[in-house]
């Protein structure tokens, strides 16, 4: 069995758990294929299996890779999605970050997680993605995201007007700092912090959530994910910001944008005893009120 491993930054404070992870891989005879930048960071810091290989580009991840493992927080896992692309390789998120909605396997569960992969005793959650189409090239070869697409005004610029259409019919013109369109997975991300609802991952929907809207009667709305949502922007500045998950680009305000459901999915691995409701209770501290 081969697993690709990606992480952004090596932190010495996590060394005990990371070393334990690689030791367990070796015990289970699982060959690691490590992101080359991360291997350079961990030189002389970790004891890696002798058969460790490296990769630096998504094209080097062939059909021999059984799992793609992300070591970090949710942002690291979002990076992993841009490397896995449409290969359907199951993604394992081990949380060395903070909240960890996507990277739901705790650092103290690394031994259990590796054993689960070796024994194929896990559950696959299929997560939908969004795809961005525009009249100018954006986001290179990865115009898709797992969490959300967002439109922002630039820096301290005045609020912008975002004309939003569903299948070509006007939904609303948002006067706001911006607007997010999230997947069910992304409903617990940026959308949630802007007052959006929590949506179950298998709900087949999009969530439109305004960012600091000028009209207080404007509220988030849930729409079917078989629709095409398009945008036209008015701004007093020449540029706006478009973001897909943790990636962003500055584009001319006259850009034409349309978002639809991507035609492939990402498979997230979770341990059998973990589910979405448990994640909600744990991450949002539901049920900890002493009056309950």
Point out the residues that are catalytic. 74
40 phi and psi angles, rounded to 5 deg: -60, -40
SS3 for 155?
coil
Q: Please list the residues that pair with 69 across neighbouring strands.
A: 5, 92
- In Å, how far are 47, 94, 257 from 180, measured between CA atoms? 43, 27, 13
Q: Provide Rg for the chain, Cα atoms.
A: 20
| Rounded Cα gap, residues 274 and 95, in angstroms | 14
Cα–Cα distance between 159 and 161 in angstroms, integer? 7
Provide the 8-state DSSP code for 201.
T
| Residue 197 DSSP code | P
Q: Which long-range contacts (CB under 8 A, 24 or more apart) does 116-119 make?
A: 116/269, 116/271, 116/272, 117/1, 117/3, 117/28, 117/30, 117/66, 117/67, 117/92, 117/269, 118/1, 118/28, 118/29, 118/30
Extract the tokens encoding 203: 């709900």
Q: Residue 274, class by beta-carbon neighbours within 10 Å (0-12 exposed, 13-18 middle, 19+ buried)? A: middle
Q: Please state whether beta strands 2-6 and 65-72 pair in parallel, antiparallel, or not at all (unpaired).
A: parallel
């Amino acid at each position: 069995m081969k697993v690709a491993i990606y992480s952004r930054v090596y932190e010495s404070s996590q060394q005990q758990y990371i070393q334990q992870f690689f030791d367990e891989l070796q015990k289970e005879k699982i060959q690691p294929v490590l992101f080359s930048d991360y291997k350079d960071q961990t030189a002389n810091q970790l004891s890696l299996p002798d058969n460790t290989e490296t990769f630096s580009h998504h094209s080097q991840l062939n059909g021999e890779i059984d799992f793609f493992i992300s070591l970090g927080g949710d942002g690291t896992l979002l990076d992993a999605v841009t490397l896995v692309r449409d290969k359907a390789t199951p993604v394992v998120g081990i949380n060395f970050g903070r909240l960890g909605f996507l990277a739901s396997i705790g650092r103290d569960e690394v031994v259990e997680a590796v054993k689960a992969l070796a024994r194929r005793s896990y559950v696959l959650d299929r997560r939908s993605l969004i795809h961005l189409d525009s009249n100018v090239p954006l986001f290179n070869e990865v115009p898709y995201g797992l969490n959300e697409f967002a439109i922002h005004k630039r820096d301290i610029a005045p609020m912008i007007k975002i004309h939003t259409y569903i299948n070509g019919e006007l939904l609303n013109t948002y006067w706001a700092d911006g607007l997010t369109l999230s997947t069910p997975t992304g409903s617990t991300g940026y959308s949630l912090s802007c007052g959006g609802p929590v949506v179950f991952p298998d709900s087949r929907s999009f969530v439109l959530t305004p960012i600091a809207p000028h009209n207080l009667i404007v509220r988030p709305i849930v729409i079917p994910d078989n629709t095409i949502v398009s945008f036209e922007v008015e701004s007093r500045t020449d540029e706006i910001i478009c973001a897909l998950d943790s990636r962003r680009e500055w584009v001319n305000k006259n850009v034409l944008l349309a978002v639809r459901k991507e035609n492939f999915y990402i498979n997230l691995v979770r341990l059998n005893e973990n589910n979405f409701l448990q994640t909600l209770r744990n991450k949002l501290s539901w049920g900890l009120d002493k009056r309950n």
